[in-house]
Amino acid sequence: MDFIPAKTLLTKNKTTNWFGYEYNMNIYRGCHHGCIYCDSRSSCYQVEDFDRVRAKENSTNLLFQNLTSKRQKGIIGTGAMSDPYNHDEKKYKLTRLALEQINQAGFGIGITTKSDLITRDIDLLTAIKQHSPVIAGISITAADDSLAKKIERNVSSSSKRFHALKKLTDAGIYSGVLLMPVLPFITDSKENILSIVHQAFEAGVNFIYPWFGMTLRENQQIHYYQWLDHLFPDIKQKYIQTYHNSYSCPIPNEQELSYLFKNECTKLGITYQMKKIITEYQKDYHMEQINLF
């Protein structure tokens, strides 16, 4: 793995609308997972050779500097641009080292991943939970392992991800499914959505947060359409006819599927609204705010 220079590891978020995160952290750049739909391939993010993972140089010392310089403690989100549990993490343990520092500094953590490697760090997530909010979200787009393998080529199988969720929830970590994207004409069936909800329920999840559609722009669209030609040769034309060059591509049956999803979650007692998710996992904490005054 290559290492690249970096000036900072933590950035302050403009809003806390996304799971209540005050800060964002990306230790890695690029991703091994090979998901055919990944929005991070878009040219606006300026990540060249996206399938090659690079780590930020001296990330451990850099994070220490960032944490000690913050006047306000808060919740750090990681996994938005690059999965913190990529294939190299098993060897280099940079995410684990970061969690150790976050624990020592008294910050909270929110993790988004597609890897069951997150269960390796349950001990640290449990330690952080003693003083600050912790939330873990595992992305699952297809309930069936064979379909997931097609659209997310190098990722832990969906069944392994559900098993990881069970381990997290059994350990008392507030955890759930990020049901996104839902790919038009591929994963937008009632059977797929209901199966994800039911398997998530069996895993004891606290929440499922969905988005019934996907984005398509610039490099991402080119890459996605090339894979559609290879995997689902009859579907690309449906995308062109339905969405043209739109950035946001909601599924055609969005209203019906959303209604079905919400009803099933309500029946099973699974939270799906963002505000309620934030309230639930932060409810037992008083976030310390340190300021100049």
Q: Quick: pLDDT tens for 197-231.
A: 999 999 999 999 999 999 998 888 999 999 999 99
Predicted TM-score (pTM) of this structure: 0.94
Residue scoring higher pLDDT (117 or 289): 117
3-12, 92-101, 252-261: least confidently modelled range? 3-12
Instruction: Enumerate the β-bridge partners of residue 134.
Output: 109
Residue 242 burial by CB count (10 A; 0-12/13-18/19+): exposed, middle or buried?
A: middle
62-83 b/e with 16+ CB inside 10 Å = b?
bbbebbeebeebbbbbbbbbbb
pLDDT of residue 46: 66
Q: Quick: pLDDT tens for 82-97.
A: 999 999 999 999 999 9
pLDDT of residue 41: 82
**Alpha carbons within 13 A on the beta-carbon side of 90:** 7
Give the CA distances from residue 105 to residues 69, 74, 108, in Å, rounded to whole numbers and listed in that order: 11, 10, 9
Query: Is the separation of the CB atoms in 220 and 42 below 8 Å?
Result: yes
pLDDT of residue 45: 67
What backbone torsions phi and psi does residue 137 show, to the nearest 5 degrees? -120, 125
Is the per-residue pLDDT at 38 higher than 50? yes
Is the per-residue pLDDT at 245 higher than 90? no
Give the CA distances from residue 70 to residues 25, 74, 117, 136, in Å, rounded to whole numbers and listed in that order: 14, 9, 29, 23
Q: Quick: pLDDT tens for 44-67.
A: 666 777 778 999 999 999 999 999
Confidence tier at 113 by pLDDT (50, 70, 90):
very high
Q: Quick: pLDDT tens for 141-177.
A: 999 999 999 999 999 999 999 999 999 999 999 999 9
Chain-centre distance for alpha carbon 68 = 26
Chain-centre distance for alpha carbon 59 = 21
Query: Is the separation of the CB atoms in 182 and 214 below 8 Å?
Result: yes
First to last CA, the chain: 44
Chain-centre distance for alpha carbon 225 = 23
| Mean predicted lDDT score pLDDT of the chain | 93
pLDDT of residue 193: 98
Is the per-residue pLDDT at 292 higher than 60? no
The stretch 11-31 carries a mean pLDDT of: 94
Is the per-residue pLDDT at 1 higher than 90? no
Is the per-residue pLDDT at 262 higher than 90? yes
